[in-house]
Each structure stands twice: as C-alpha cells, then as structure tokens.
Structure 1
Amino acid sequence: MRQLLALAAGLVVLASSACSAPAPPRSGAPSTTPTGPATLPAPTGDRPVATTALYLTDTSRPDPWDLDADTRQLKVTLWYPTEQRDGQRAPYMTPKESELLLKGSGIANTPYDTLSTTRTNAVKDAEPAGRRLALVVLSAGFTKPVSTLTSLAEDLAGRGYLVAGIDHTHESHATTLSDGRIAECLACDSDTDPGFGPRVVQGRAADVSFVLDRLTSTWKHSGLIDRSKIAMAGQSIGGAATLAAMVKDPRIRAGIDMDGTTYARIPKNGLSRPFMFIGSPQHIPGGRDTSWERDWKLLTGWKRWLVVTNTEHQSFTDLPLLANALGIGPAPGILPAARSAELTRTYVAAFLDRHLGSQRQPLLDRPSPRYPEVTFCPTTCGIP
C-alpha cells in the first residue's frame, strides 16, 4: 500500500506491510504552531564529530528500480570522530530533499524546506581522527533518507565509531546524486507487489556489500577501518536488511534490527553472530509482528530481544525530534522524543561496545532501573 507517514510521538508512522508490521490507524496528533528549527541532541561521547558524503557507482549490476540505469549509484554519508571542533555544521538535508520528503509524507502545514533548517552537530568535511576505527553501517526505513538516523550516527561517531549511512537510491522520497540530480522513490510504485519485502532486503544487502568493498579498499581513509570490527544497524526495512546483509556477508560481525519486520531466510544451521532486536510493543510474542519470534529460534549466537514500552515505529529515528518544528503535537501515551532518542542511543551503543569493543555491558544482561521502559523478552515474555 502507499506509505502513510505519521512521525512517531505523533509525527509519522509507516504503515506499509512491506516495511514493518502494519500499524493500526491512529487518531492523529493535534497540530500546533511550529517552534522553529529543530536541534538534534548533542552526542554523548567525548569526541568532536564530522561528516562527509561519498558518491559510489557499482558497475557490476543494474539499478533494481530504474530499468534505464545499467549501474547502481549510491550516496553514502560518513560520520566520524575528528579533532576539529569549529567549522560549518553539516546540513540535515537540502531544501529540495526536505520538500520531497514532506510532500511524499503528506505533511503540508509547514514550509516545505523546514527540515533543511534542522541543526546538526557534525562539522562538514573535517578530517577524521583516530586509528583502527570500528565501522557501523546504517540503513533507514523505506521512503526515508538515512539522514533520519543522524542523531544516532552523530552519537556513535562521538564515541569513536566510523558510521556509514547508505541512501538506497529510489527507495526514499529524495536522494541527491553526485551530479545534483534528485533520485525519487521509484520503488514506491512497487510496494504492493508480491515478494516486495524480500526483494528490497536482498537489494540492500547487495548495496551494503558493495559499500564495504569500496570503503575498505578505494576510500582515501580506508586505512582507518578495523576490518575485523564491522557491524550494521537499521530501522524498519533497514533493520530487515541488516539481517539479510549478515546472512550474505560474513564481514558483518554483529547486527541490530530496530523495529523492522524480517524477511531474510536464515540458514537451517542458524546465524551464530551477535544480533539484537529492539522495537515497539508490536513485536511482543504473539503480537502483530511474528517475524522476530520466528527468527529468534534460528539466532544461535549471543542475542537479545528488547521491547520498549510506549513507543511507535518511528520512535527509533530522528522523526519525533522534528515534530515540534513541523507543528505536530505529541501522540498520547508515547515516550517524549528526548527519552526515546536516549534509549535508542544507549542500547545501540552498549551492543556495539560489547561486540566490537569487547567491553562488558551489564545493561544488556538484565533489566535496568534506569531504563524501566525496556523489557527483555527472552526472560520475561515466555520465549525459550
């Protein structure tokens, strides 16, 4: 079905069965007066953060959505630690990208360039600092640019990670290519086709492997990457793509699915690398989305299944942080945007620190009184 957008915390909730378990209709949050530009929360790490964009072309395969393109063009946004504290902050997105995203999302009560004014924390094009950085790949939800995961990406970079966010061309409302052209959402015309979800995640897995090839070989700073420490995380269909990419590419040592219905077939002998599900109550055992329960049995390594109460599908993205700027009030009973961002950052970082940094993380061993919203489903939801 066509994407219905309502930001979590009352802003946009994806309702496509191809991207996550179907969300029930919401009554909608009240419109309010826009408060001016949104400001993303500062990274919690001790490193200054920078960002830059790479434009890559895979000549080995055609674009899966544009039948006239015999190569696959991708935009990759990198976030990383730097020594440079001063300088121009990177734009959240361009005015045209903001316009196409808001139009595609059906949000019309605010100027279409609003999201281009969002204030980020990363210095544009500063030189990276550090050596032997662990690499984390990010993949966003269907119709969304990877910029909607900027708060998480900046936080990880401030903690010392190199983050590579992939814009999967023609799967979001707007991706700006190297020559300035805007690639729009051609895949949106196919989202009711049989097998759409598996098709998307397999294509994204191919995108990820290609990006890893290029980052670890021809990128000018490839020597910074610790190739033994690569992980991936994604939201919605990006979370599903994380599992698909891990099945396909053994270089990905650990993975996180943030509220995404899964589609990849896990081999019968299981997937033994660390994996974490973290999502909204739709993923409780016996809930509307049963894919996690199905795949849990085939995850044979370290694993966690976390459900966060009072969250929606987009609670694990920047979108709740942008609600006030778009003049949309909070949805009743949903966690405040700052709290959902804190929970997402905290648990994702703990997982990566444990599995890429070999650091003990008691937070992942049992429920925490500091984060009572987080339920450990393997121990409290009756799953063996």
Structure 2
Amino acid sequence: MTAISRRTVLAAAGTAGLVLATAGIATATHNGGTQHTAAQQAAAQKGRVQLRLPAPTGPARVGTTSLHLVDHARKDPWTSAKRELMVSLWYPARDVQDHKRAPWLPPASTALDKQQTSRNLQTSLDNVDYPVTHGHQDAPVRGRRHPVVLFSPGYGAIRAHGTALVQDLASRGYVVVTIDHTHDAQFVEFPKGRLELTRKPSNPTEEEAERETAKALRARQDDTKFVLDQLPTLNTGGNPDAEHRRLPGGLRGSLDLSKIGMFGHSLGGDTTAETMAEDPRIAAGVNMDGTFFGPVAATGLDRPFMLMGNATHGRDNDSTWEDFWSNLRGWRRQLLLRESGHQTFTDQSPLGQQLIKALPIPPAVVAKLRESIGTINAGRAVAAERAYLTAFFDLHLRHRDDHLLSKPSPKYPEIEFIP
C-alpha cells in the first residue's frame, strides 16, 4: 500500500458528515487553544446559519427520488442478512410545481451527522440548518432516453456527499444514480428513520484497514452491479423499491441503458474502475482522487477513463496511479485541481468553507479542515469539477465534444493537464 493510500483510508475511516477528514483531531486540539477570532464570534451571534449548495447550471430543473433496494441473492458481508441498499435518482424534471425541494439529508441522518460534526469541530451546530438540495422530490421526469451516470462516494462516506456535482449533471440531461454502501458508510437511513451504522473498526491498524478496504471494495463492486441490474426494471415500468413506494411519473422509458457512465470519489473512484473491469455495461469512468486497491491497476481498461487528483496527489507519488495509467488502452486523461485537498471533490468543500466563516471553530481544527478541503475557493472548485465531468460524459456518452478536454482552458486556470 502506498503512503497516499494509507493516509487516505485511515483519514476516511473515522466519521461521516460535513467534516469527514477531521476525525480524530479533537483530543489533539484541546491543548492547542480555543481562541476564536472576533469575526467568528460575531458570525455566531447573528442567528441561524443556513448552509447552501451551489445551484445547478444546466437548463433543466431537477427531480430526485430515493429507492430501498434488497438483493435477495446476496448476503451482507458485515451481517450475513440480505444485502440492503439506499440509492437516489437525480434527473431532469418536467414540472416541479407542488414538489418540494429535497433535504440534503433525511431527518435521522441530519441529527446524527450534526452530533458527529459538532464533536469534531468542537463547536455547537444548534443554530446551523443543513442544506436543501435543488432536487424536487418525486417530480415527474422530463423527456426520454437520458444517459445514465452512477456515483459511488468515498470510504466511510455517504451518497449525499456528491450532491453538488450530481444535481448539476441532472440539470444537463443525465439521470444520475447515487449509491450508499451500507455498513461501509458511516450511516445509511432507510425508510421510517431506520439507521444502519458502519461495521468498520473505528481506529483500525494499517493491517485492519487493508482488510476492511478489500472487503468494502468487493461489496461496492457487487452493489454497483446489483444497481445496474435494477435499471432495466425501472425503465420498463417496474418498481424494485422494497416498500413499493410510488415512483415519479415519466420514469418509464427515460433511461438510455446503452449509455452508462460512472464516477466516484476516493474509494468510489477505485470502485468505478474495478467495476468497469468486470462489467462492460459501464462505458466510461472517472476516478476523483482515489488510490487503486484492486487488480485493475495491473490489468487496466480498454474504455475511456479520467483521473482527477488533488494538488498533492498524482502519478508521481501514487504508484497505483502510475500502474493504472500505463495499462489504460482507451482514451485517457489526468487532471490536477490546484490548491485542493482530498475532500475538495465533495460537498464538504462548499459547506466546510461556510462553517469556517460562520462558527467559532478552534484555529487548530480550522487548519485541519482546510488541509482536507484545500485552500481553493469552493465556488471555483465546484465549477471546474462540474465542467470537466460534464465534458467527459458528453464526449464519451453523447459524442459531443466541446474541446474542453483537449487542452488547458483559460476559463478554468485551476485545472492542470498532466501529460
């Protein structure tokens, strides 16, 4: 295991929520002082803090719905019960009237996440309201035969962490399916508020982390293939939801299953590549800052693939990226996002920067959080990530080339092309 991979896995193994990468720093900062700036103290006294996600930039309004899926043919590797998943669909909506915008997290998850985040940030979140997404709950689907993109979050993370990117793809005509990997994720909320918590060790040794990562990666590949198996049912008017809740109107026939892509963050990026190696249904993939743990680094792929790394992560210091790159036999591209950290590719970037401005967080905790989300302006980071993700999937699923991936663009100076 490389130095990058070990650091990434252990950092992600602690907790979920807004401050994933600050896990384990509370003890270290108690003696580091809790002096707060006058600006932080003033911000905390202003009243409630409403966190917000960047609005989608595409022409379509966005709808969303969630599904509870049960794989009756497979046992959960952590519990031996039937494998259960929660997934969300994000899609271009025909009409959003009378369809409320969905919350970033459902109620039980919000309460637990606030508790964990407050502990890690060493400050109260009592006056903080979590974001409302730009996805309208169960709104009818607009149009037919949209390309499909799957999303897998990082190790220990939840599917909501990709919302800023996912809802933008939906506004541009994609149906995006986000996956929670139960018992790998810190928590997953099922219908009626049932929470399933992680089964991973809280403070793993390096050896334990390697075993758990391998176990999680195998489960994630099987989860992804199972979700892919459910898409034809949805597309023909079936309802795979375990509670048979009513599905959005217009969903039948809305998926173009000949055009499927996938992207993921951290271990979700590796999940993308490893699943592609086993399942030809995924035509193109993107790994956002994830080290490779499985055999795909050695075997490579023959389909389009893009690597997006943070400012300190690339082929020069992660041997698995170098191996994977040399074994790619199709279209390939590597990009670096300047001034970024590992979590810059998640919702923790915009939300974390808002928390830093609004709350009296101890300086040592702020420094650790900034190390995780980078120093790049979150708005600029999200804009660049959205632009290059869209350009990639437009090129390889829709065969539309805006030439953004051909060479560096003055519009996005934050993106560096790695030859």
User: What is the TM-score with the length of structure 1 in the denominator?
Assistant: 0.86
**Does the C-alpha gap of structure 1 residues 300 and 222 become closer, same or farther in structure 2, counting only changes over 3 Å?**
farther
**Does the C-alpha gap of structure 1 residues 12 and 145 become closer, same or farther in structure 2, counting only changes over 3 Å?**
closer
**Structure 1, gaps ≥5 residues long:** 17-26, 379-384
1:227 equivalent to 2:248? Answer: no
Q: Residue in 2 aligned with 1:75?
A: 86
1:292 equivalent to 2:321? Answer: yes
**Does the C-alpha gap of structure 1 residues 113 and 358 become closer, same or farther in structure 2, counting only changes over 3 Å?**
farther
Distance apart, 1:195 and its partner CA: 3.1
CA–CA separation in structure 2 for the residues paired with 1:181 and 1:6: 17
Distance apart, 1:108 and its partner CA: 4.1
Distance apart, 1:98 and its partner CA: 2.5
Q: Residue in 1 aligned with 2:247?
A: none
Q: 1:40 aligns with which of 53, 58, 73?
A: 53
CA–CA separation in structure 1 for the residues paired with 2:149 and 2:415: 23
Q: Is the 8 A contact 1:268 1:298 kept in 2?
A: yes
CA–CA separation in structure 1 for the residues paired with 2:142 and 2:108: 32
Distance apart, 1:363 and its partner CA: 0.9
Q: Residue in 1 aligned with 2:121?
A: 107
- State the secondary structure of the residue aligned to 1:331: helix
Kindly provide the CA deviation profile for residues 116-158 of structure 1, in whole angstroms up to 9, marking residues without a partner as x. x312111111111111111000111122211111111110000
- State the secondary structure of the residue aligned to 1:257: strand
Query: How many residue pairs are counted as aligned between the two chains?
Result: 362
Q: Residue in 2 aligned with 1:273?
A: 303
CA–CA separation in structure 1 for the residues paired with 2:181 and 2:16: 21
**Does the C-alpha gap of structure 1 residues 365 and 92 become closer, same or farther in structure 2, counting only changes over 3 Å?**
same
Kindly provide the CA deviation profile for residues 322-342 of structure 1, in whole angstroms up to 9, marking residues without a partner as x. 122463568387101111111
Computed over aligned residues only, the root mean square deviation of the Cα atoms, in angstroms, reads 2.8
CA–CA separation in structure 2 for the residues paired with 1:72 and 1:270: 29
Q: Residue in 2 aligned with 1:381?
A: none
- State the secondary structure of the residue aligned to 1:90: strand
Distance apart, 1:190 and its partner CA: 8.3
CA–CA separation in structure 2 for the residues paired with 1:111 and 1:347: 34
Distance apart, 1:169 and its partner CA: 0.7
**Structure 2, gaps ≥5 residues long:** 1-9, 25-32, 240-250
Aligned positions of 1:1-384 closer than 5 A:
1=10, 3=13, 12-13=20-21, 32=40, 33=43, 36-67=49-80, 69=81, 71-86=82-97, 87-104=99-116, 106-111=120-125, 114=128, 117-189=130-202, 191-192=204-205, 193=208, 194-218=210-234, 219-220=238-239, 221-266=251-296, 270-287=300-317, 289-323=318-352, 324-325=354-355, 327=359, 331=370, 334-378=375-419
**Does the C-alpha gap of structure 1 residues 334 and 269 become closer, same or farther in structure 2, counting only changes over 3 Å?**
closer
Distance apart, 1:96 and its partner CA: 2.5
> Of the two, which has the highest radius of gyration?
2
Residue 325 of structure 2 aligns to which amino acid in structure 1?
W
Percent identity of paired positions between Structure 1 and Structure 2? 36
Residue 54 of structure 1 aligns to which amino acid in structure 2?
L
Residue 414 of structure 2 aligns to which amino acid in structure 1?
E
Residue 47 of structure 1 aligns to which amino acid in structure 2?
A
Kindly provide the CA deviation profile for residues 319-377 of structure 1, in whole angstroms up to 9, marking residues without a partner as x. 12112246356838710111111111111111000001100131101111111221111
- Residue range with higher mean Cα deviation, 160-169 or 262-271: 262-271
Residue 395 of structure 2 aligns to which amino acid in structure 1?
R
Residue 306 of structure 1 aligns to which amino acid in structure 2?
L
